[in-house]
Amino acid sequence: MSRDTALAVAAHPDDIEFMMAGTLLLLRQAGWDTHYLTIASGNCGSVEHDSATTRRVRRREAQAACEVLGARWHPCLADDLEIFYDLKTILRLAAVIRDVAPRVLLVPSPQDYMEDHTNSSRLAVSAAFVRGMPNVKTLPSRRPVGGDVTVYHAMPHGLRDPLRRRVIPGAFVNTTAVHARKRQALAAHASQKLWLDKSQGMDSYLRVCDDMSREVGRLSRRFQHAEGWRRHLHYGFCAPDADPLKEVLGKDYLVNRAYEKSLDRET
């Protein structure tokens, strides 16, 4: 009997660590196989090195972070600012998803401050949707796979959409017990300390990670540190009530009842 599998897909090296790594660590502790893929290489993320050098540095850092998380690393598919919602990228990402056959797919928020992030969300959703379609030929070619996959969207950076509106999680995962390890994985991206300070005003990217996880924990009204998730609509992916994170994480998973009620009101 094969083990349950989770795949985290994000835009750049360190995005998984900021918004998804705690959940990935908890799944790993529960005995799941975990996989790590950033679509872009991170080659633009430096004020010190040229593109080729930065690409090599960030690859090594991502592999080191992945080792801390106990996940399997997958090579990136593009360079920074080249994450486009196009057929070729969908087919390349779909090949990975067919190889991994995840039961849980962790993806970025569909609303975020940067197009690389939102395009990564769209690409991952489309690649998962075509996982079982025989007439979709992936790059490289992989056989279609069956089975459910539940897609969870992470919180956006800053916990707000591009128009500054607060984004509310549909569920909270208690990452308090694994926060130190999540932080260790993020610290493996050492080249980003100066870059994030210069480009985005994050004078300490580790402190920003702490602040975001504490804020999501505060929103939960229960956990010290947390990651927030919203489930994608089930059509083409899984059963209507599928929520494997709730199933496996138990007391460390808290459904946001106010969010669920707001969905009922909208329908």
Domains observed in the chain: 5-266 (3.40.50.10320)
Q: Is the pLDDT of residue 249 over 90?
A: yes
What is the pLDDT of the chain when averaged over all its residues? 94
What does the pLDDT read at residue 132? Answer: 98
If pLDDT is split at 50, 70 and 90, which confidence band does 48 have?
Answer: confident
What does the pLDDT read at residue 195? Answer: 66
Share of the chain above pLDDT 90, in %: 88
Region 195-214: mean pLDDT is 77
What does the pLDDT read at residue 239? Answer: 97
Q: Which amino acid is at 185?
A: A
CB atoms closer than 10 angstroms to residue 224: 14
Q: Is the pLDDT of residue 265 over 80?
A: no
Please tell me whether residue 54 adopts helix, strand or coil conformation: helix
Q: Is the pLDDT of residue 1 over 80?
A: no
Share of the chain above pLDDT 70, in %: 95
What does the pLDDT read at residue 204? Answer: 81
Q: Is the pLDDT of residue 64 over 80?
A: yes
If pLDDT is split at 50, 70 and 90, which confidence band does 199 have?
Answer: low
Q: Is the pLDDT of residue 35 over 70?
A: yes
Of 171, 160, 176, 166, the residue nearest 223 (C-alpha): 176
Q: Is the pLDDT of residue 50 over 60?
A: yes
Q: Is the pLDDT of residue 173 over 90?
A: yes
Q: Is the pLDDT of residue 196 over 80?
A: no
Rounded to whole angstroms, the maximal C-alpha distance in the chain is 51
Cα separations in angstroms, 232 against 19, 90, 126: 17, 18, 12
Q: Which amino acid is at 258?
A: A
* Each residue's pLDDT tens digit, 81-126: 999 999 999 999 999 999 999 999 999 999 999 999 999 999 999 9
Burial of 43 (0-12, 13-18, 19+ CB in 10 A): buried
Region 32-59: mean pLDDT is 94
Distance in Å from the first CA to the final CA of the chain = 40
Q: Is the pLDDT of residue 201 over 70?
A: no
* Each residue's pLDDT tens digit, 2-17: 579 999 999 999 999 9
Q: Is the pLDDT of residue 250 over 70?
A: yes
Region 196-204: mean pLDDT is 63
Q: Is the pLDDT of residue 202 over 70?
A: no
